[in-house]
Amino acid sequence: MGDKAQTHPGAAGRAQAADHPQSVRNVVLVGHSGSGKTTLVEALALTAGAVNRAGRVEDGGTVSDYDEIEHRQQRSVQLSLVPVEWDGIKVNLLDTPGYADFVGELRAGLRAADAALFVVSASDGVDGSTRMVWEECAAVGMPRAIVVTHLEAARAGFEEMTRICAEAFGADDPDAVLPLYLPLHGPQAPDGHAPVTGLIGLLSQKLFDYSTGERKESEPGEDQLPLIEEARNRLIEGIISESEDETLMDRYLGGEPVDVKTLIDDLERAVARGVFFPVLAAAPAAEGSRQGLGTVELLELITRGFPTPLEHETVRVTTIDGKPRELTPCDPDAPLVAEVVKTSSDPYVGRLSLIRVFSGTLRADQTVHVSGHGLADRGHEDHDVDERIGALSTPFGKQQRPVSHVIAGDLACVAKLSRAETGDTLSAKDDPLLMEPWQMPDPLLPLAIQAHSKPDEDKLSQGLARLVAEDPTMRLEQNQDTHQVVLWCLGEAHADVALERLRSRYGVQVDVVPHKVSLRETFATKAAGRGRHVKQSGGHGQFAICEIEVEPLPGGSGIEFVDKVVGGAVPRQFIPSVEKGVRAQAAKGVAAGHPLIDVRVTLLDGKAHSVDSSDAAFQTAGALALREAAAGARIHLLEPVAEVSVLVGDDYVGSVMSDLSGRRGRVLGTEQTPGGRTLVRAEVPEIEIGRYAIDLRSMTHGTARFSRRYARHEPMPAQVAERVREEARKAS
């Protein structure tokens, strides 16, 4: 694994459809924004021979040419697939965005992969969000390795980063996070920095020199061997401690030599089992060079140490009605089960669905069943339809290379699946199945929008539907109380990309407007009102008089209507009319235009006319009576209060609790959780947490998470209520 004597040319470099799951590796690259994931993917593609020395594909683009918005924003915003071939193995490299707003793309990459490559910048270190992803991978036993990049930075140090990675990722066993190679430094520059020009294999004790742009192997000098002895011994002990041969450690400690082949075999098994996490170094090739530093070693680790799809934990599958279904793991001859892990739009071929086949074989022109995904609350309706598979292809930059079929364990793109959305299951039309959906983060940043013009209004609905079909982390809300269209996003960058896609892809220009929360009104005191609707203008007149009493009720009671009319003052047939008018006025509000709740309205008396009274007249009288009662009473403005749970590192607990208090929040309690974190529970008015997703990320450097759910409406403080009323008056 990386210590082999010969250098593999990477065959043709271009990965085609695989013939057996054994010859596939699915690897997701994880790391913070700017850690060098995309650059590393391009370097691996160059070393594998998939691109030319300038890093270009045939159309003149690069392997990272995937989204026009990425070019404008100078950062990755979505998952991209780059398949290459190395040593007869197809390697599907899944490049994920590092920015927290696009964690949904990361989740999709983790779902599609069988192993994870954590990319860490030597100049930036390990951030909190990367640690959290590591813990997620650990929870499901996903095999992992670590690549240190940006070794050219003056303050960078591979040895120091290895120590930091062991502390960050090896909490349970620091000896499971160890380097396979040490850097080989070139001549010292005037600034005192000695560039890394090669690697020293700790197991093989070979030198791999990349200074000429081609990997060259040589024997180390006698003076170099003592420098690697300590690191080599620690690596050997780390490998042996994870060996399935329980006698090996005793033999090693007893002085018996262990041959390199045995160590490499044990290392590969430990990596594939997810119990040992090697650290490597990598750098892109210099201009005109064919191989970047460490790329050969990394490809050998992927192809020899990472597991095949056959070793992927079986995903839970059920029939459409929820009955469990057992499937042979990753069998190309088994019933078809595939999943849409990414949906995107291409200006030339239309909708593209990136799919991972978990069972069976997917073929072009095949008719499959598309099953919904359980995200109806986010604007993604569940559905069960049959669709015909169009062209199958493997992506490479902006190109789509046709393939005839995709076997279990492999990834490919399907064109023009018009009904399938991210998270949907594809299965045989005569045996429809449904995969358990993967966990997606809740979008907690509201973005209220409205069409910029009448032509935009005509296209808005379709544009929004296509937008949310691509992104399951986005929720579309049509708020019936505020009459706003709200896109719930993960953060500001996520919102910016959503607006840009609406404009550039779907031709819809929108304006962002202040987000409104759903306020309510209620009576603070008992009040009485009289509604008189008497009109006579010739012909049939209008006559209705009613007297009501209104009193407040406990929260959650709604509107209660009571009839206490005696003596037939209001005929029985018109009492429902009064109630209808009262409820209609309550829905419109009685003070600031917000729905009235939690009151009891009692009809006490009234008058009617034998000819001029009518249903419409008593509805109007009921509404007038409620308005008059409100005019003589104290009205409370009610605001929604959310139950908020914040999972935060212990270092930031004080800041978070102080911030919540400043938002008029009530901290209900805290509890310790594993990993040095605290769960803070509080109740906070929703009007105060509209931008909390952004503020919390800034406050905790991206290491905290929160969830929220509606608790109740409660009276707003007088000064806040007056400010809201004043803003409403200005807006009207």
In the numeric block, the tokens 């780059």 are attached to 82
User: Which residue from 475, 472, 478 is spatially nearest to 488, judged by alpha carbons?
Assistant: 475
Residue 539 confidence (pLDDT): 66
Q: Where are the alpha helices (DSSP H) in 6-52?
A: 37-47
Which stretches of 72-176 are assigned E, i.e. beta strand? 80-86, 89-95, 115-121, 144-149
Calpha distance 287→54 (Å, rounded): 7
* SS3 category, 256: coil
Instruction: Decide if 317-435 and 637-731 have a common fold.
Output: no
Give just the sign of the alpha carbon dihedral 337, 81, 445, 691. Answer: positive
Residue 154 confidence (pLDDT): 60
Q: What integer is the mean pLDDT of 375-403?
A: 78
Strand (E) or helix (H) holding 313: none
Q: What integer is the mean pLDDT of 521-545?
A: 89
Q: What integer is the mean pLDDT of 642-668?
A: 95
Q: Give me the CATH topology for the region 449-513.
A: Alpha-Beta Plaits (3.30.70)
Q: Where are the alpha helices (DSSP H) in 545-614?
A: 575-588
Residue 7 confidence (pLDDT): 42
Residue 377 confidence (pLDDT): 61
Percent share of the chain, pLDDT over 70:
90
Q: What is the mean pLDDT of the chain?
A: 87
Q: What integer is the mean pLDDT of 68-80?
A: 64
Q: What is the pLDDT of residues 14-25, one digit of tens each?
A: 666 678 999 999
Q: What integer is the mean pLDDT of 429-458?
A: 91
The hierarchical CATH code for the domain 21-311 is 3.40.50.300
Name the residue type at position 66. Y
Residue 585 confidence (pLDDT): 97
Residue pair 552/525 in contact (Cβ under 8 Å)? The answer is yes
Q: What integer is the mean pLDDT of 116-127?
A: 91
Q: What is the pLDDT of residues 399-414, one digit of tens each?
A: 788 999 999 999 999 9
Residue partners of 525: CB distance under 8 A and separation at least 6? 552, 633, 634
For the chain, the straight-line distance linking the first and the last C-alpha, in angstroms and rounded, comes to 71
Q: CA separation (Å) from 706 to 158, 226, 441, 517?
A: 35, 51, 10, 19
Percent share of the chain, pLDDT over 90:
58
Q: Could you tell me the residue ranges of all domains in the chain?
A: 21-311, 317-435, 449-513, 520-633, 637-731
CA 351 to chain centre: 20
pLDDT at 418 over 90: no
Please report which confidence band the pLDDT of residue 56 belongs to, taking 50, 70 and 90 as the band edges: low
Give just the sign of the alpha carbon dihedral 522, 528, 534, 540. Answer: positive
pLDDT at 520 over 60: yes
Please report which confidence band the pLDDT of residue 155 belongs to, taking 50, 70 and 90 as the band edges: low
pLDDT at 376 over 80: no
Residue 313 confidence (pLDDT): 78
Q: Where are the alpha helices (DSSP H) in 563-691?
A: 575-588, 615-631, 653-662
CATH architecture of 637-731: 2-Layer Sandwich (3.30)
Strongest mean pLDDT among 55-59, 124-128, 682-686: 682-686
Q: Give me the CATH topology for the region 317-435.
A: Elongation Factor Tu (Ef-tu); domain 3 (2.40.30)
Please report which confidence band the pLDDT of residue 8 belongs to, taking 50, 70 and 90 as the band edges: very low
Paired tokens of 126:
């390990």
Residue 327 confidence (pLDDT): 83
Calpha distance 271→305 (Å, rounded): 6
Name the residue type at position 713. H
More confident residue, 437 or 442: 442
User: Which residue from 394, 692, 267 is spatially nearest to 259, judged by alpha carbons?
Assistant: 267
Prediction pTM value: 0.86
Candidate from 23-37, 87-101, 372-386 with smallest mean pLDDT: 372-386
Calpha distance 249→252 (Å, rounded): 5
Q: What is the pLDDT of residues 572-623, one digit of tens each?
A: 999 999 999 999 999 999 988 899 999 999 999 999 998 889 999 999 999 9
DSSP code per residue over 17-58 = --SSGGGEEEEEEE--TTSSHHHHHHHHHHHTTSS-TTSB-T
Residue 4 confidence (pLDDT): 46
User: What 8-state DSSP symbol labels residue 213?
Assistant: S
Please report which confidence band the pLDDT of residue 64 belongs to, taking 50, 70 and 90 as the band edges: low
pLDDT at 59 over 50: no
CATH 3.40.50.720 matches 520-633 = no
Residue 6 confidence (pLDDT): 40
SS (H, E, C) 215-241: CEEECCCCCCHHHHHHHHHHHHHHHHH
Residue 5 confidence (pLDDT): 38
Calpha distance 296→117 (Å, rounded): 15
Q: What is the pLDDT of residues 106-120, one digit of tens each?
A: 999 999 999 999 999
Q: What is the pLDDT of residues 492-508, one digit of tens each?
A: 999 999 999 999 888 99
pLDDT at 95 over 50: yes
**Beta 216-218 vs 399-403: how paired, if at all?**
unpaired
Q: What is the pLDDT of residues 686-711, one digit of tens each?
A: 999 999 999 999 999 888 999 999 99
Residue 16 confidence (pLDDT): 66
More confident residue, 586 or 71: 586
